[in-house]
Amino acid sequence: MAITSNMRINSERLWDSLMEMAKIGPGIAGGNNRQTLTDEDAEGRRLFERWCTDAGMTMGLDKMGTMFARREGTDPDALPVYVGSHLDTQPTGGKYDGVLGVLGGLEIIRQLNDMNIKTKHPIVVVNFTNEEGTRFAPAMVASGVFAGRHTLDWAYAREDAEGKTLGDELKRVGYLGDEEVGARKMHAFFELHIEQGPILENENKDIGVVTHGQGLKWLEVTLIGRESHTGSTPMPMRVNAGLGMARMTELVNEIALSHAPNAVGAIGHCDVYPNSRNIIPGKVVFTVDFRHPEKDVITDMETRFRQGVREISEGIGLQHSIEEVGGFDPVEFDHGCVTAVRAAAERLGYSHRDLVSGAGHDACWINRVAPTSMVMCPCVDGLSHNEAEDISPDWAAAGTNVLFHAVVETAVIVD
Ligand code: GLV
Ligand code: MN
Ligand code: MN
């Protein structure tokens, strides 16, 4: 049986589930704070698990805490089609970043059950651990281990700001599984996500067909100066680590702008020591995030930044060190999977355009080990990583319908 354009997901049920999940770990301004491996994350996982069980799926859990809910196919030898994203959020996150991709996957299963449709390939809905990378750097760490980019021990040793490790926190919240990470073989992987940028809304398009993902480099810089009195230390005698960071903030901006319009760069996290009103900062630690669709440009940005940090530090008398804390090369998604997404949008009558993803996604790592692509839907004002992040129920439904068609077509309906 072929999939036809009248086959659609239940958009009300999808929206209700999104709203239900958003009640867990509410933020302070209408969004969510469900950071990875917190009690709130565990509660969100348990709700997802219950929904999956109710939909007749069986849950697998790997050693990185990634959850795999499986609906059987008819062919015991056929590899599963995977679909999903992440349920963890930023500390001031929205209700849809990641969550739409997981609950959109669940909605596909519920709809297949309702329509009594069987597929040749099993379908597995995934919730990857720690996509956001805010509590434990880097982002997409579990999919990175799955794709062989990081070792399990290295991932377990990642520390949060309080010195708790990812491995200990996995155990504490009860989501340390025993399945080897990356042992699963995938027929294909599809991830639905909000765009997190303004292009689709500005161009009035329903769907982004994601052909590429830009690469990124995360650096952590430590500057050491000398703590001294802000009132009595003469200006020429100061060794001000805060001043160094200020100059480096400008530098990051200039470097990104020199590769306009596609390069971006920002300092997102900083700790100033001792952080007192009347002490000149003796130490500053901050992170830099550079991104571009071409690897050479990312390399150029990093090289120029490292050189600039040396010069600025020498000028002020600071010591400095730079550590790489995250990175991946630009991604080209699988032609067959991209074509399946585009064909689904066409069949369903949605307006669409090709997109390069500005954000990192688990799909970027999974693409290294399985044919992969992504579907995007618009978000209001392109705003994300902000509690005010918003989408309409129609946008969510359109994205999930495209996901539904791409996944089910790939999993092959059995008569
Ligand atoms: C992940 O959310 C990223 O793009 O930083
Ligand atoms: Mn996300
Ligand atoms: Mn995010």
**406 Cβ inside 6 Å of ligand 1:** no
pLDDT, mean of residues 142-156 = 98
What is d(CA 30, CA 15) in angstroms, rounded to the nearest whole number? 16
Report the half-sphere exposure of 101 (CA within 13 A, side-chain side): 28
Distances (CA, A) of 319 to 219, 224, 248: 16, 5, 14
Ligand closest in space to the Cα of 127: 2
**139 Cβ inside 6 Å of ligand 1:** yes
The answer on pLDDT for 381 being more than 80 is: yes
176-202 confidence digits (pLDDT tens): 999 999 999 999 999 999 999 999 999
- Return the residue matching tokens 């969004």: 31
pLDDT, mean of residues 306-332 = 97
What letters, b where the CB count within 10 A reaches 16 and e where it falls short, cover 28-63?
eeebbbbbbbbebbbbbbebbbebbeebebebbbbb
**359 Cβ inside 6 Å of ligand 1:** yes
228-281 confidence digits (pLDDT tens): 999 999 999 999 999 999 999 999 999 999 999 999 999 999 999 999 999 999
3 state DSSP class of 371: coil
Quote the tokens at residue 274.
């001792």
Do residues 396 and 174 make contact, with C-beta atoms less than 8 angstroms apart? no
CA 412 to chain CA mean position, Å? 28
Q: What is the CA radius of gyration of the chain?
A: 23
pLDDT of residue 3: 87
pLDDT of residue 2: 82
**264 Cβ inside 6 Å of ligand 1:** no
72-82 confidence digits (pLDDT tens): 999 999 999 99
Strand partners, 218: 289, 326
Nearest CA to ligand 1 atom 2: 132
Ligand 2 midpoint to CA 161 (Å): 21
pLDDT of residue 16: 98
The answer on pLDDT for 1 being more than 80 is: no
Ligand 3 midpoint to CA 385 (Å): 6
Question: Please, what is the average pLDDT of the chain?
Answer: 98
Ligand 3 midpoint to CA 31 (Å): 13
* Amino acid letter, 375: V
Ligand 3 midpoint to CA 36 (Å): 12
Beta strand 123-127 with 81-85 is: parallel
pLDDT of residue 294: 97
pLDDT of residue 415: 82
As a dihedral over the C-alpha atoms of residue 145, residue 148, residue 151, residue 155, rounded to 10 degrees, the angle is -20
Closest C-alpha to 171, from 37, 283, 74, 35: 37
Closest atom of ligand 1 to CA, residue 360:
4
Ligand closest in space to the Cα of 214: 1
**289 Cβ inside 6 Å of ligand 1:** no
Q: DSSP code of 96?
A: S
Q: Best of 92, 130, 132 to mutate for ligand 1, by most ligand atoms within 8 A of CB?
A: 132
Quote the tokens at residue 348.
């369903």
What does pTM read for this prediction? Answer: 0.94
pLDDT of residue 120: 98
